[in-house]
């Protein structure tokens, strides 16, 4: 009996830690591991998830504005995505008098919904493998002819497809160019804002809690897709009608339990799971730490000012959040790679492949050599790109340098100049030359100290001291055209001043080229391009050729493994179980957070941890309606073992029946190395609980009319 139990336990263990859980996986929806999903608890079939002959779940999942994911949750085209995905639109409708970011927004009915020019959602109508067509006639070709022929094949394939006028066809390479897939997409262009909670719910915890579990963010917002009278895509018109979807997701408010089956359906952006050990090692020891170091300096300098000056905080809030987002992710990634012994694991894997197929040794040796050769250039590339991105004086100089080059080549016209001017005024709007001088002074010093002298312009050693740099920048800025303190352009560049400056482009280009700050930047850029970037890129193209070969060899040699292609912003399914985690010795996390935790984190008036009065009242009165769980409290967030990445924000998390149970918005810090090395011990995705979403819509926002549209599963 005991023995039998052990056997059952072992079988269960290997089920729940089967392939999908060992390796994670972001599967193309036409190639699902239906059996494995069913073994893990799924009750529906692969055809219910993706079908071109009947309505399926894929008809309710869209790419939101080219980046995030969103899903349809009512027969009237009601769309759910993250607050941080709809942030730009919420901000677009906000004014100082009517600050929707701070106060939230809830349309009272459909006529109160707000249009968002330019926002689109894309449906995937069909997916086909087209490897044979893409690689036709390429067997004996080498680069660069190979790439040319493939592009021509793809163009020919696309041209031969018969699609509706509102559809398009795109072809994407998978497995580093070993396979190709075609997607038919349909784009809707009238997407209106329906509702968003205040930031103190939708962005609760902000940067401090970002990537962190336990989490208490109500990171959601709602939109609606509108269509022409025929339900087909149409440009915005007030006469458009709410879109009737082929399928919409029922919303479950059932209690969750640990080990419940779940899957996530969305558009993950980019992963690199099949790199050789050497590449992972370089990321871990070289490029991630370099990027982190640059951002450390920038963030610290900005934070000091933002904490003491409200105007600066508002100007820099969004930039700060975006710089901090990947900074924090990389820190977690490096720790996770170390802790999961990613490099040793990959080395062992390589040895096991070589044992089966000795030819692979040549590939691995080649990759080792190339990555080692590339290392100094790759490190310089990491420093250069991060310094230019974060030292805004240099970012500006880089922008101007693009303009100068185009102007001198006779390639500027009215349209491109207007676009450039708009870009500049958007930049200057949220820019403080005074604060950035401090950041730039420090980052120039970092660049001079960290980057080896052969990649620097002659005489760059003089920038090793940040105090002297600051004096220098402040001095030069007094007369700089580009940092906006010039006598030519006045103290700050408003759009009128920009117009004035550009009214005589010839004079402007002359002034820019004479500008000392501009010259400092162009010297830096030229030295980098000539001595590092050229080598970096040419070695990278050799790496790409070998990586394609290594990918093919992994797939043909490792017969036991089920391969999935790295994320590339195409539609994927990942699955797993609702699960807590034990990221550190003696530390274990529950899979679910509750409203009580929001109240524990509450700091009155704080810009990250304030809580709206009404939410406090609902909590005090325990006015939870149907949305509390077995604990008597409202569940807020939960974690699972789904393998997700950036772009999965806003993706639906579904249960065994295909009902919506959560809204994906983040990952747990300790597991962010899953982009390179998924590890079921640490990798968890973080979702907002549907109970919390409906609780906020119903009880907090008094928007029952939206709940009434949905199919709520109790």
Interface positions with ligand GLU (CB under 6 A):
68, 644-649, 665-667
CA-based Rg of the chain, rounded to a whole angstrom? 27
Candidate list 646, 652, 658, 662; residue touching ligand ARG; CB under 6 A? 646
In the complex, the smallest distance separating the C-beta of residue 650 from ligand GLU, rounded to whole angstroms, is 7
Residue 207's binding partner, choosing from ligand ARG, ligand GLU, none, with beta-carbon cut-off 5 to 8 A by kind?
ligand ARG
If the CB atoms of residues 281 and 649 are measured against ligand ARG, the closer one turns out to be 649
Count of residues that interact with ligand ARG, criterion CB under 6 A? 10
Minimal CA–CA distance to 648: which of 325, 265, 326, 391?
Answer: 265
> 594 has which bridge partners?
635
Q: Confirm whether 649 is a catalytic residue.
A: yes
**Cα 86 from chain centre:** 13
- Tokens in use for 687? 């979702």
If the CB atoms of residues 271 and 477 are measured against ligand GLU, the closer one turns out to be 271
DSSP code per residue over 535-578: HHHHHHHHHHHHHHHHHHHHHHH-TTSPP-PPP-SS-EEEEEEB
In the complex, the smallest distance separating the C-beta of residue 219 from ligand GLU, rounded to whole angstroms, is 8
Cβ 245 vs Cβ 70: under 8 Å: no
In angstroms, the CA 297 to CA 583 distance is: 28
Q: Confirm whether 416 is a catalytic residue.
A: no
If the CB atoms of residues 62 and 473 are measured against ligand GLU, the closer one turns out to be 62
If the CB atoms of residues 215 and 282 are measured against ligand GLU, the closer one turns out to be 215
In angstroms, the CA 249 to CA 637 distance is: 19
Residue 390's binding partner, choosing from ligand GLU, ligand ARG, none, with beta-carbon cut-off 5 to 8 A by kind?
none
In angstroms, the CA 56 to CA 49 distance is: 5
Question: By CB under 6 A, is residue 650 in contact with ligand ARG?
Answer: no
In the complex, the smallest distance separating the C-beta of residue 547 from ligand GLU, rounded to whole angstroms, is 23
Minimal CA–CA distance to 302: which of 436, 398, 125?
Answer: 436
Q: Which of 83, 84, 594, 643 is catalytic?
A: 84
Cβ 401 vs Cβ 560: under 8 Å: no
Question: By CB under 6 A, is residue 645 in contact with ligand ARG?
Answer: no
Q: Which of 200, 432, 477, 649 is catalytic?
A: 649
279 three-state secondary structure: helix
Contacts of 604 (CB under 8 A, 6+ apart): 610
| 263-298 CB burial, b ≥16 within 10 A, e <16 | bbbbbbbebebbbbbbbbbbbbbbbbbbbbbbbebb
In the complex, the smallest distance separating the C-beta of residue 470 from ligand GLU, rounded to whole angstroms, is 35
Residue 648's binding partner, choosing from ligand ARG, ligand GLU, none, with beta-carbon cut-off 5 to 8 A by kind?
ligand GLU
Candidate list 89, 199, 206, 489; residue touching ligand ARG; CB under 6 A? 206
Q: Where are the beta strands (DSSP E) in 243-353?
A: 251-252, 261-266
If the CB atoms of residues 219 and 260 are measured against ligand ARG, the closer one turns out to be 219
Question: By CB under 6 A, is residue 649 in contact with ligand ARG?
Answer: yes
Q: Which of 59, 122, 207, 219 is catalytic?
A: 219
If the CB atoms of residues 240 and 648 are measured against ligand ARG, the closer one turns out to be 648
Q: Confirm whether 83 is a catalytic residue.
A: no
Query: Which residues, numbered 310-329, are part of the site for ligand ARG (CB under 6 A)?
Result: 321, 325
Question: By CB under 6 A, is residue 350 in contact with ligand ARG?
Answer: no
Cβ 426 vs Cβ 486: under 8 Å: no
Candidate list 58, 76, 84, 643; residue touching ligand ARG; CB under 6 A? 84
In the complex, the smallest distance separating the C-beta of residue 653 from ligand GLU, rounded to whole angstroms, is 12
DSSP code per residue over 132-188: HHHHTT-TT--TTHHHHHHHHHHHHHHHH----TTEEEEEEEEGGGTEEEEEEEEEE
If the CB atoms of residues 336 and 646 are measured against ligand ARG, the closer one turns out to be 646
- Interface residues toward ligand ARG, by CB under 6 A: 84, 206-207, 210-211, 321, 325, 646, 649, 666
Active site positions, annotated: 84, 219, 649
């Amino acid at each position: 009996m005991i023995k039998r139990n052990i056997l059952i336990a072992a079988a269960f263990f290997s089920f729940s830690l089967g392939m999908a859980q060992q390796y994670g996986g972001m599967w193309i929806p036409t190639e699902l591991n239906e059996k494995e999903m069913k073994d893990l608890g799924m009750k529906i079939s692969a055809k219910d998830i993706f079908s071109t002959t009947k309505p399926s779940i894929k008809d309710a999942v869209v790419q939101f504005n080219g980046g995030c994911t969103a899903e349809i949750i009512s027969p009237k085209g009601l769309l759910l995505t993250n607050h941080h995905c709809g942030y730009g639109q919420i901000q677009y409708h906000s004014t100082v008098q009517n600050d929707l970011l701070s106060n939230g927004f809830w349309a009272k009915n459909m006529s109160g919904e707000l249009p968002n020019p330019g926002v689109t959602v894309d449906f995937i109508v069909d997916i086909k493998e087209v490897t044979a067509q893409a690689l036709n006639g390429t067997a004996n070709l080498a680069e660069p002819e190979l790439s040319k022929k493939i592009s021509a094949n793809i163009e020919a394939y696309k041209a031969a497809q018969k699609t509706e006028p509102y559809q398009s066809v795109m072809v994407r390479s998978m497995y580093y160019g070993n396979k190709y897939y075609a997607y038919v997409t349909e784009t809707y262009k009238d997407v209106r804002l329906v509702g968003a909670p205040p930031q103190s719910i939708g962005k609760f915890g902000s940067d401090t809690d970002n990537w962190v579990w336990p989490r208490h963010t109500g990171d959601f917002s709602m939109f609606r897709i509108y269509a022409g009278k025929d339900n087909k895509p149409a440009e915005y018109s007030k006469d458009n009608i709410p879109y009737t979807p082929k399928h919409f997701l029922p919303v479950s408010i059932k209690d969750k339990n640990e080990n419940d089956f779940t899957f996530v359906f969305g558009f993950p952006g980019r992963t690199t799971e099949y790199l050789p050990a050497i590449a992972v090692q370089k990321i871990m020891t070289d490029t991630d730490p370099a990027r982190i170091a640059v951002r450390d300096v920038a963030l610290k300098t900005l934070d000091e000012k933002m904490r003491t000056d409200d105007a600066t905080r508002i100007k820099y809030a969004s930039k700060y959040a975006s710089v901090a987002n990947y900074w924090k992710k990389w820190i977690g990634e490096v720790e996770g790679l170390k802790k999961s012994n990613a490099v040793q694991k990959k080395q062992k894997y390589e040895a096991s492949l070589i044992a089966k197929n000795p030819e692979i040794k040549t590939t691995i040796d080649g990759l080792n050599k190339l990555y080692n050769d590339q290392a100094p250039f790759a490190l310089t590339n990491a420093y250069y790109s991060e310094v230019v991105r974060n030292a805004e004086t240099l970012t500006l100089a880089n922008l101007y340098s693009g303009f100068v080059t185009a102007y001198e080549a006779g390639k500027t016209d009215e349209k491109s100049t207007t676009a450039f001017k708009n870009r500049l005024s958007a930049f200057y709007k949220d820019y403080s030359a005074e604060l950035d001088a401090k950041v730039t002074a420090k980052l120039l010093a970092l660049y001079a100290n960290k980057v080896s002298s052969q990649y620097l312009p002659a005489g760059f050693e003089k920038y090793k001291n940040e105090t002297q740099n600051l004096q220098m920048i402040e001095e030069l800025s007094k007369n700089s055209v580009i940092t906006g303190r010039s006598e030519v352009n006045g103290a700050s560049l408003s759009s009128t001043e920009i117009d004035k400056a550009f009214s005589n482009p010839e004079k402007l280009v002359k002034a820019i080229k004479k500008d000392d700050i501009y010259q400092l930047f162009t010297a830096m850029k030229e030295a980098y391009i000539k001595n590092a970037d050229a080598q970096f890129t040419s070695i990278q193209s050799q790496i790409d050729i070998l990586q394609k070969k290594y990918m093919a060899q992994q797939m043909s040699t490792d017969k036991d493994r089920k391969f999935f292609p790295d994320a590339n912003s195409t539609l994927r399914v990942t699955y797993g179980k609702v699960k807590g985690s034990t990221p550190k010795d003696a530390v274990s996390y529950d899979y679910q957070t509750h409203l009580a935790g929001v109240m524990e984190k509450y700091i009155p008036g704080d810009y990250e941890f304030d809580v709206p009065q009404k939410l406090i009242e609902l909590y005090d009165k325990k006015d939870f309606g149907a949305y509390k769980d077995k604990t008597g409290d409202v569940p807020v967030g939960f974690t699972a073992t789904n393998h997700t990445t950036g772009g999965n924000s806003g993706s639906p998390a579904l249960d065994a029946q295909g009902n919506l149970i959560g809204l994906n918005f983040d990952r747990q810090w300790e597991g962010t190395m899953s982009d390179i090395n998924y590890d079921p011990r640490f990798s968890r995705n973080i979702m907002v609980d549907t109970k919390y979403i409906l609780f906020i819509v119903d009880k907090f926002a008094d928007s029952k009319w939206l709940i009434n549209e949905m199919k709520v599963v109790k």
